[in-house]
A = this chain, B = another copy of it.
Amino acid sequence: MSRKRFQDMNCGVAQTLEQVGDWWTLLIVRDAFLDKTRFSEFQESLGIAKNILSDRLRKLVENGILEKERLDEPGARYAYRLTKKGRDLWLVLTAMRLWSDRWVFGERDVPLVAREEDSHREVAALLAVDRDGDPVEPGKLEWAPGPAPRRRAKRRNAGARR
């Protein structure tokens, strides 16, 4: 009678939820993007119970989304930092932010903004492109179920795992 797991579902959404689908997890990741690194920083920022935070951080480290580093500084024991895998979640966070921007906040301002370091240009939208980089019309999308045996052609970034 334990909580159902999504491990065996052959679906990317389910697999992602398996790793970051817990109630607090994505907010911890969001805070990590905001350069929070310490246990107490997450705790104060989120108002999360310490045992829950402890558990979520452990799972995030286990899943390779955060890495735990021991610090020598006085007053600071550990630092939790995003790995490459963790930083790659920015698209998920951005998609959620943009959705809420439109459907929840309405005209209110949102506090988390992604922007280019140099120009400070903000990410205002996400654009879907095919494997050649050509835009795909969002209004004319259909979803196809699988399993579709397809070869992923030439990935820009090889060496995906770690």
> Measuring CB to CB, which residues of chain A are less than 8 angstroms from any residue of chain B?
3-4, 6, 9-17, 19, 21, 23, 26-27, 30, 33-35, 47-48, 85, 88-118, 121-131, 133-138, 140-150, 152, 156, 160-161
Contact = CB atoms under 8 A, between A and B. Distances in A.
Contacts of A130: 116, 121-124
Contact of A123 (B21, B91, B114, B128): B128
Task: Please provide the 3 A-B residue pairs with the shortest distance between their CB atoms, ordered closest to farther.
Answer: A111-B146, A12-B97, A12-B100
Contacts of A30: 11, 13
A112 B13 contact: yes
Nearest to A150: B109
Copies of this chain in its oligomeric complex:
2
A146 to B, nearest CB: 3
A88 to B, nearest CB: 6
Contacts of A105: 12, 15
Contacts of A129: 123-127
Nearest to A83: B103
A123 B127 CA distance: 10
A16 B131 contact: no
A104 B18 CA distance: 10
Contacts of A3: 23
A113 B161 contact: no
A55 to B, nearest CB: 15
9 contacts: A12-B96, A17-B96, A110-B146, A111-B146, A113-B148, A116-B130, A121-B136, A122-B150, A127-B127
